[in-house]
Amino acid sequence: MKNKEITKQEEIREGLTLLMSECYSKELSVCPNFLPQVFLNRLYSYLHSKGVVIKVDRELPFTDPYGTCLAEVNALNILIESGYVAVESLINEKD
């Protein structure tokens, strides 16, 4: 039987299942009032380690049709039509 390669989504899903079971097991010695925060901190760290990012609404740079060459305008249109989006990291690296 061949080893089935798992997708990135499946890998993250399995990691989340493991993370939840670890955080909510009886072995975790955390005051129940702090458990949600502990879980969220671990969740953010785990997702960040897997390269998960947040899609953000951001306008494309302003282009002046009279001061911009046609190639630049066409490049922006191609990016828009191709579905390119702006993303930000889950965790601010400065923190």
pLDDT (tens digit per residue) in 13-31: 999 888 888 777 766 666 6
Average pLDDT, the chain: 76
49 SS3 class: helix
Retrieve residue 19's tokens: 């993370």
pTM of this prediction exceeds 0.85: no
Query: How far is the C-alpha of 38 from the C-alpha of 47, rounded, in Å?
Result: 14
CB 13 within 8 A of CB 7: no
CB 46 within 8 A of CB 30: no
